């Protein structure tokens, strides 16, 4: 039987719709509405870099222009509708997913044991009981509150003092949870004081965790390969995802189709039922500045196949070797990634250093007006009074990049 084809434009639109990037960025974004938005896209990555705003704030603001960081703080620390843990990186998640993480806690304890013994300095395991007793007795702690008298290394994460390592271990294995952040520093408390009792009371069988990890990933992707499904939550292996998809296909829970890439090539994928041939969502022509860590772009290989957009973050690349810049933001217009921008907040100024249109994109007055309008909104969001443009800000796409 021949497989139905999902044309590239339709594939992009379905995917963006599932990531809340098809509709205009309007509507409520606090309380239940904010929790619902996070549940819709699955997770919101947390990152410390703040050239304009934190990654999690940029991700949410791109989808709801009325979003404010104070609403996220309330949802995490007061309402307890959201919590923070690990997917492929530190992320904010719906609190209802916590029971699914029990399997990850156990797996991380087994997997990290050998690695951490090789990577970190000795002594952290001896601190587990001491730290748990202290938190139980005295309340939440951060890494700066523990480790008195311990030698602090001068290196990076591998040279943490033992109590800092112990805190991270206890968090990764579920004994403690992030109760709040002071600035960007995590503050930990006992898990039973952070995660609501009703959530912790839920028991999930191992096979149900696999069903959730694969089924909910495909629901948010719309379509994907086994690798893409496994990578979404980073909760199961590619082999487990392949086996699950094969069973789901046999039982009629998923379908197969061909999806067209940006370059015209076709890829065999699994889809949610009825996606191939379904009505294609409308997509707003709004131009948006996206975080490099946006869930829609986290899978760089998928973004390159679907949008023809090759992106590599260059934070750790020596400046002379950078192609674009330290922290460059993708620009989404409608269903297309039309360029990238190097922009930085400096107090009352939002400074544009450079804009690189993607190959084949004409940067005319209409598109420029859209960008200026979006940057004006972004300046208001981060508290800057005006946007300034560097001389020679419009740059040619680097020859050979992405080929």
Q: Which residue has the tokens 């995490």?
A: 76
> Using CB atoms within 10 A of its CB, is residue 52 exposed (0-12), middle (13-18) or buried (19+)?
buried
Query: What per-residue confidence (pLDDT) applies to 129?
Result: 80
Confidence band for 160, pLDDT divided at 50, 70 and 90: very low
The second-level CATH assignment, the architecture, of 120-195 is Orthogonal Bundle (1.10)
CA atoms within 13 A on the CB side of 121: 18
What is the per-residue pLDDT for 143? 81
Give yes or no for a contact between 329 and 292, defined as CB atoms under 8 angstroms apart.
Answer: yes
Nearest to 80 by CA among 203, 201, 233, 199: 199
With tokens 């156990």, the residue in question is 106
Q: What confidence tens digit (pLDDT) does each residue in 213-260 have? A: 999 999 999 999 999 999 999 999 999 999 999 999 999 999 999 999
CA gap 183, 141 in Å, rounded: 14
> What is the arrangement of strands in the sheet containing 223-224, beginning at the earlier edge strand?
5-6, 255-260, 266-271, 223-224
Residue pair 387/346 in contact (Cβ under 8 Å)? The answer is: no
| Residues found in the chain | 403
**Every domain of the chain and the residues it spans:** 4-95+214-277, 120-195, 287-389
Name the H helices within 145-288. Answer: 162-172, 191-194, 197-200, 206-221, 226-233, 238-250
Collapsing DSSP to helix, strand or coil, 178 comes out as strand
Q: What is the distance between the alpha carbons of residues 381 and 53, in angstroms, rounded to a whole number?
A: 9
**Looking at residue 385, what is its pLDDT?**
96
What average pLDDT does the structure give for the chain? 91
Label each residue of 33-61 as H, E or C. HHHHHHHHHCCEECCCCCCCCCHHHHHHH
Q: Is the pLDDT of residue 148 over 70?
A: no
Q: Specify the DSSP element, H or E, that contains 6.
A: strand 5-6
pLDDT band of 122, cuts 50, 70, 90: low
- DSSP annotation string for 58-108: HHHHHH-TT--HHHHHHHHHTS-SEEEEESSSEEEEEGGGGGGGHHHHHHH
pLDDT of 314:
92
Written as six digits, the tokens of 82 are: 């959201």
120-195 matches 287-389 in fold: no
Min mean pLDDT across 104-113, 282-291, 339-348 is at 104-113
Tens-digit pLDDT profile for residues 22-73: 999 999 999 999 999 999 999 999 998 999 999 999 999 999 999 999 999 9
Q: Which helix (H) or strand (E) holds 187?
A: strand 185-190
Q: Which CATH class is domain 287-389?
A: alpha beta
Q: Does residue 74 carry a pLDDT above 70?
A: yes
pLDDT at 1: 65
Helix (H) / strand (E) containing 368 = helix 365-382
Report pLDDT for 121: 47
How far, in Å, CA of 309 to CA of 373, rounded? 23
């Amino acid at each position: 039987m021949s497989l139905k084809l999902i044309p590239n434009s339709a594939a992009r639109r379905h995917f963006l719709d599932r990531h809340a990037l098809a509709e205009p960025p309007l509507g409520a974004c606090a309380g239940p509405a904010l929790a619902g938005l996070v549940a819709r896209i699955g997770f919101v990555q947390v990152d410390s870099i703040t050239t304009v705003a934190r990654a999690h704030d940029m991700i949410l603001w791109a989808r709801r222009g009325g979003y404010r960081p104070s609403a996220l703080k309330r949802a995490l620390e007061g309402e307890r509708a959201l919590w923070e843990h690990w997917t492929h990186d530190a992320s904010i998640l719906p609190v209802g997913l916590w029971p699914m993480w029990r399997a990850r806690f156990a797996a991380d304890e087994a997997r990290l044991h050998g690695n951490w013994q090789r990577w970190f300095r000795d002594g952290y395991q001896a601190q587990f009981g001491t730290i748990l007793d202290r938190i139980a007795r005295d309340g939440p702690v951060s890494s700066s509150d523990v480790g008195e008298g311990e030698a602090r290394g001068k290196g990076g994460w591998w040279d943490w003092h033992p109590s800092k390592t112990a805190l991270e271990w206890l968090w990764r294995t579920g004994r403690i949870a992030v109760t709040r952040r002071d600035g960007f520093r995590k503050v930990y408390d006992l898990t039973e004081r952070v995660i609501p009792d009703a959530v912790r009371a839920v028991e999930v069988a191992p096979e149900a965790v696999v069903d959730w990890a694969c089924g909910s990933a495909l629901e948010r992707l719309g379509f994907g390969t086994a690798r893409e499904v496994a990578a979404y939550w980073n909760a199961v292996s590619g082999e487990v995802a392949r086996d699950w998809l094969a069973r789901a296909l046999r039982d009629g829970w998923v379908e197969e189709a061909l999806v067209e890439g940006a370059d015209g090539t076709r890829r065999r994928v699994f889809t949610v039922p009825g996606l191939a041939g379904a009505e294609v969502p409308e997509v707003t022509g709004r131009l948006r500045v996206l975080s490099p860590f946006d869930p829609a772009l986290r899978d760089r290989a998928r973004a390159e196949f679907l949008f023809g957009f090759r992106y590599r973050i260059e934070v750790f690349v020596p400046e002379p070797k950078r192609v674009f810049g330290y922290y460059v933001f993708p620009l989404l217009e409608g269903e297309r990634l039309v360029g990238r921008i190097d922009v930085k907040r400096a107090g009352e100024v939002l400074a544009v250093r450079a804009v690189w249109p993607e190959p084949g994109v004409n940067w005319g007055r209409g598109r420029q007006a859209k960008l200026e309008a979006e940057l004006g909104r972004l300046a208001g969001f981060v508290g800057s009074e005006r946007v300034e443009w560097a001389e020679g800000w419009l740059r040619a796409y680097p020859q050979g990049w992405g080929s």
